[in-house]
Amino acid sequence: MSEEGKDDRRRLDAARTWIVDPLDGTHDYPFLDSMEWAVHVALVEDQRPTAAAVAVPGLDQVFATDLDGPGEPSERNEPLVISGRSNAYLASEVADEIGGKVTACGSSGVKAMLVVSGAVDVYVHGSGLYEWDVCAPAAVAEALGMVVTDLEGNEILYNKSQPIVRGFVVARPEFAEATRETLDRLVGPVR
Ligand SMILES: [Mg+2]
């Protein structure tokens, strides 16, 4: 299943499904100086990713599920919470809670990998995404020790009939609990 492909639905009966976003962050791609785009590839079996990689050419790096994480806890005085350029409300609430500040860039894959690399501490995406935007970054982040959920704190399942994910949260372990508490308080009523 791919953002650029036609969904003939054969994936729903397949034992193994590849979920691919050949160019995540397309909005930023025309700007050649931008690092804000990524390539996502994930293998899904029984609705869960079993292997994945995210290439971020702007960082000259490929992140994958067979690497080690999560590295040392961040020693920033002000933790960084990243979100998209629009709709940073939930991210700013999380930043307030952990005494940090908000930053933004394009591409869900890039944002998730900035958490993995330790460049930022939490990624909060408050609205719906397609599975190809989320699957590979989520799989890599989780394999490398990050805490990954949808907006409501649930495990994300893939290769669903309707391939939509309700929000995307990636937190370094030391900020996972405060992030969850903040989001539960804010999105709780819509559960
Ligand atoms: Mg995408």
Q: How far apart are CA 72 and CA 103, in angstroms?
A: 21
Cis preceding linkage at 30, omega within 30: no
| pLDDT score of 138 | 98
User: What is the number of domains present in the chain?
Assistant: 1
CATH of residue 159: 3.40.190.80
- pTM reported for the whole predicted model: 0.93
Residue 177 in any domain: the answer is yes
Q: Cα(32) to centroid of ligand 1, in Å?
A: 18
Residue 3 in any domain: the answer is no
Q: What is the mean pLDDT of the chain?
A: 92
| pLDDT tops 50 at residue 191 | no
Q: Cα(168) to centroid of ligand 1, in Å?
A: 13
Q: Cα(164) to centroid of ligand 1, in Å?
A: 12
Residue 5 in any domain: the answer is no
Q: Cα(29) to centroid of ligand 1, in Å?
A: 11
| pLDDT score of 4 | 78
Residue 4 in any domain: the answer is no
Is the alpha carbon torsion for 52, 129, 153, 80 positive or negative? positive
Q: What is the pLDDT of residues 141-165, one digit of tens each?
A: 999 999 999 999 999 999 999 999 9
Q: What is the pLDDT of residues 87-131, one digit of tens each?
A: 789 999 999 999 999 999 999 999 999 999 999 999 999 999 999
Q: Is pLDDT larger for residue 108 or for residue 73? A: 108
Residue 71 in any domain: the answer is yes
Q: Which residues surround ligand 1, an ion (CB under 5 A)?
A: 21, 24, 133
Residue 16 in any domain: the answer is yes
Residue 87 in any domain: the answer is yes
Q: Cα(42) to centroid of ligand 1, in Å?
A: 13
Residue 168 in any domain: the answer is yes
Q: How far apart are CA 35 and CA 155, in angstroms?
A: 29
Q: Domain of 154?
A: 10-190
Q: Cα(66) to centroid of ligand 1, in Å?
A: 23
